[in-house]
Amino acid sequence: MTTTTAVIDLDLPGPTISRHVYGHFAEHLGRCIYGGFWVGEDSPVPNVRGIRADVVEALRALHIPNLRWPGGCFADDYHWRDGIGPRDQRPRMVNSHWGDVVEDNAFGTHEFMDLCDLLGADPYVSGNIGSGTVAEMSDWVEYLTRADDSPMAALRRANGRDEPWRVPFWGLGNEAWGCGGNLRVEQFASMARQYATYARDQGGNALYRIAAGASDADYHWTEVLMRSFDDLAQDPAAPAGPFQAVSLHYYTMSGPWSDKGSATEFTTDEWYLTLSRARYVDELLTRHSTVMDRYDPHRKVGLVVDEWGTWWNVEPGTNPGFLYQQNTLRDALVASVHLDAFHTHADRVVMANIAQTVNVLQAMILTDPDSGALVLTPTYHVFAMNTGHHDAASLAVHLRDVETRDVDGRSLPMVSASASTKDDTALVSLSNLDADAARTIVLDLRGRDVVGHTAHVLTAPALNAHNTAEAPSTVAPAPHAGVRAHPRGLEVDLPAHSYVTVALDLR
């Protein structure tokens, strides 16, 4: 087997990898909010003001940078005034998108902001364009962020919160091409400008407004949104406005929407097909960025991948509208491939939000509704192993002699990699996508001296290995002894179907 080489110039830092590409997403969907984050103050599950304490602790360990809420499709049915004031007086609502269940609005604006405070995360509020009004969104911004005696600030104080919150990220609708209104892009582009104008900066709170963008390869949607800006090319120093970013949604699955495949029962061919489709995100980012570059050569407008991850058929016996799925080693490598792509495109990708945080789709955490047990998923561990990339300068990784496999008309490299540097350290992330074969990779490290290293590996005997309440550590990171000195730098063993990080001390 040919030895792969990764050439990394440690002294040539590139664009900064924003910590916000490690963002998360919490929608009113299934057991993400109710039973995931929110258990209520009277619950036997340990909680802080109704928010589940062990979930907060686990996410704080990831240094979670931001949390997107309340949706998703739910956001364009959500009217924020229904979720404030005394809980026993809040009106009920029908969650028509996800299970057609009735919610009591116990978890609303104040509870979400309390959650963000406990997490140490920046709030990313997704506003309602689909069924809301301009005035409704404008009032919500004022309620959250204005400090004086304005009508909405007074209402906030009447509900128990004196000081305004800091809300840096604001979503202008969600999936406007589908559940957010079934709008044509030309129509939505005008609406996004209007809503953004009235989502005002209040006092010292500056909003970063994110317009609902494209799905998958809908480059026309991105192009029309970019055309809606005033001339971005004229003055490199002038800020983008009236919104500052556009979003992109992309989900990975091994089948069509009608039968997306099982989370845990899959063939080796499905393993490779899934990883090939995960790697397709790099092409999507390249092509959407190229469209954006045409109108925004100075890259003032950010690209926010605020929904990404695997989407499988729900676990047997669970509510099909709740999107509960298990999370295997395959999901972990889907995550690592995506994060490598976000690192590579750090000059344009300013934020990303995996879908979703607890009990829904490619979750970080699963909670057992009967025992109350908490399980950390393989995907959680990839995020934990990658915290060293947060706000670090990206490093180009030049791979040589990489074996490939033809999958569904595309060439899938068996190794995915990225790297970054911060102060006198660097972190190299390596994924071996080969289902069966181990391989060795030489890290050709140039430009700075490496004076120490530590490594960790995430793998398991079976491709579909996953964690449960009965076996919570089936897939968990461990120290990796398979790293040796090499004349060019380091030689790293990559077990079959594994994820490895190597942390470097530099001089």
Q: Domain with 183 in it: what CATH number?
A: 3.20.20.80
Confidence of residue 481 (pLDDT cuts 50, 70, 90): very high
Task: Please indicate, yes or no, if residue 90 is contained in any of the structural domains.
Answer: no
Q: Averaged over 352-377, what is the pLDDT?
A: 95
pTM confidence score = 0.97
pLDDT at 4: 95
Side chain identity, residue 21: V
Task: Please indicate, yes or no, if residue 450 is contained in any of the structural domains.
Answer: yes
Are both 356 and 409 inside the same structural domain?
no
Are both 255 and 400 inside the same structural domain?
no
Are both 321 and 417 inside the same structural domain?
no
Task: Please indicate, yes or no, if residue 91 is contained in any of the structural domains.
Answer: no
Are both 278 and 143 inside the same structural domain?
yes
pLDDT at 159 over 70: yes
pLDDT at 255 over 80: yes
pLDDT at 2: 67
Q: Look at phi and psi of residue 106 and say left if phi exceeds 0, alpha if psi is from -120 to 50, else beta.
A: alpha
Are both 211 and 70 inside the same structural domain?
yes
Catalytic residue among 265, 307, 315, 491: 307
What is the CATH classification number for the domain harbouring 427? 2.60.40.1180
DSSP annotation of 159: T
Which domain-ending residue is among 344, 365, 386?
365
Catalytic residue among 175, 186, 283, 315: 175
Are both 206 and 274 inside the same structural domain?
yes
pLDDT at 1: 58
Are both 348 and 407 inside the same structural domain?
no
Are both 297 and 210 inside the same structural domain?
yes
What distance, in Å, lies between the first and last C-alpha atoms of the chain?
33
Structural domain boundaries enclosing 404:
4-9+395-506
Say whether 142 is catalytic. no
Task: Please indicate, yes or no, if residue 49 is contained in any of the structural domains.
Answer: yes
pLDDT at 372: 85
Are both 115 and 230 inside the same structural domain?
yes
Say whether 270 is catalytic. no
Task: Please indicate, yes or no, if residue 209 is contained in any of the structural domains.
Answer: yes
Q: pLDDT tens across 118-156, in order?
A: 999 999 999 999 999 999 999 999 999 999 999 999 999
Are both 216 and 328 inside the same structural domain?
yes
Give the 3-state secondary structure of 297-355.
Answer: CCCCCEEEEEEEEECCCCCCCCCCCCCCCCCEHHHHHHHHHHHHHHHHCCCCEEEEEEE
> Residue 397 pairs with which residues in a beta bridge?
8
Are both 352 and 399 inside the same structural domain?
no
Task: Please indicate, yes or no, if residue 173 is contained in any of the structural domains.
Answer: yes
Q: Are 18 and 415 in contact (CB under 8 A)?
A: no
Q: pLDDT tens across 282-338, in order?
A: 999 999 999 999 999 999 999 999 999 999 999 999 999 999 999 999 999 999 999
Residue 227 phi, psi (nearest 5) = -70, -20
Task: Please indicate, yes or no, if residue 471 is contained in any of the structural domains.
Answer: yes
Mean pLDDT, rounded, of the chain = 96
pLDDT at 232 over 80: no
Task: Please indicate, yes or no, if residue 169 is contained in any of the structural domains.
Answer: yes
pLDDT at 237: 82
Which domain-ending residue is among 348, 365, 382?
365
Are both 149 and 243 inside the same structural domain?
yes
pLDDT at 230 over 80: no
Q: pLDDT tens across 57-116, in order?
A: 999 999 999 999 999 999 999 999 999 999 999 999 999 999 999 999 999 999 999 999
> How far apart, in Å, are the Cα atoms of 108 and each of 90, 91, 115, 357?
10, 12, 11, 17
Higher-confidence residue of 400 and 372: namely: 400
pLDDT at 239: 84
pLDDT at 451 over 70: yes
**Cα gap 254→262, rounded to integer Å:** 9
Domain count, the chain: 2
Percent pLDDT > 70 in the chain is: 100
Q: Are 78 and 135 in contact (CB under 8 A)?
A: no
pLDDT at 186 over 80: yes
